[in-house]
Amino acid sequence: MSKLILVPTPIGNLRDITYRAVEILGSVDLILAEDTREAKKLLNHYNIKTPLQSHHMFNEHKSVESVCTKILSGQTIALISDAGTPGISDPGFLLVRTCVEKEIEVETLPGPTALIPALVNSGLPCDRFCFEGFLPPKKGRNKRITALTDETRTMIFYESPYRLVKTLNELALHFGPDREASVSRELSKLFEENIRGTLLFLSEYYLNKPPKGEIVIIVSGRK
């Protein structure tokens, strides 16, 4: 039966992919990829020859109907992002919602996502947590942080290396400089780094040591 299959891909180390994911990527009719250049690195590594089509935040509104038409005509299509699970701070939600509305079967494989390893590795409570993804770069940013002031669960944020210090300073301003936190960088890659401490400590650390790579911030909730 034709369907849409969401396939998580490695967040760094290319070996962090399931046997089943490799088999599916090699057997579907088409792979939708956030960046076909990044996708080819993974597919070439596993000698997967399945055709690729670009599907990202700038074209998904235009392509979603044609993708659904292909599935309804009998094709099985896989969706991947550059890293991790599609739909988690990456394209995927719009296509899944449209497929559900059209009663197209959607299947999601378990697999890599950066937020869980960073959370568990932080040493902060992980029995209850909230995932905030990327904060708005400008409009709505202060409002979003202010709304989290009374949050008692551990909070998870994604951030770029260029805004990391700014974000840590803003979080320290709203939550207090002594709030416990953790910054995980380049998870599963050669230069993986996990630094734990207060928001003030982390801000000063990365001010003196500008970071590179993908970043996850974990912040303890209000006690």
pLDDT in tens, 61-116: 888 999 999 999 999 999 999 999 999 988 899 999 999 999 999 999 999 999 99
Domain boundary among 86, 108, 130: 108
Question: What CATH number corresponds to the domain at position 45?
Answer: 3.40.1010.10
Alpha carbon dihedral 124, 158, 77, 37, in 10-degree steps, equals -130
pLDDT of residue 90: 86
Nearest Cα to 50, choosing from 40, 62, 64, 65?
Answer: 40
Residues 211 and 120 in one domain: yes
Domain match, 99 and 8 both: yes
The runs of H, that is alpha helices, within the chain are 19-27, 36-45, 60-72, 93-101, 115-122, 141-147, 164-175, 199-208
DSSP per-residue string spanning 2-35 = --EEE--B-SS-TT-S-HHHHHHHHHSSEEEES-
CATH number of the CATH domain containing 136: 3.30.950.10
User: Which one-letter DSSP state was computed for residue 136?
Assistant: P
Range of the domain at 81: 4-108
Q: What global pTM score does this model have?
A: 0.92
pLDDT of 186-220, one tens digit each? 999 999 999 999 999 999 999 999 999 999 999 99
pLDDT reported for residue 193: 96
Residues 123, 209 share a domain: yes
**Model pLDDT for residues 109-138, shown as the tens digit of each residue:** 999 999 999 999 999 999 999 999 999 988
Number of domains observed in the structure of the chain: 2
104 lies in the same domain as 120: no
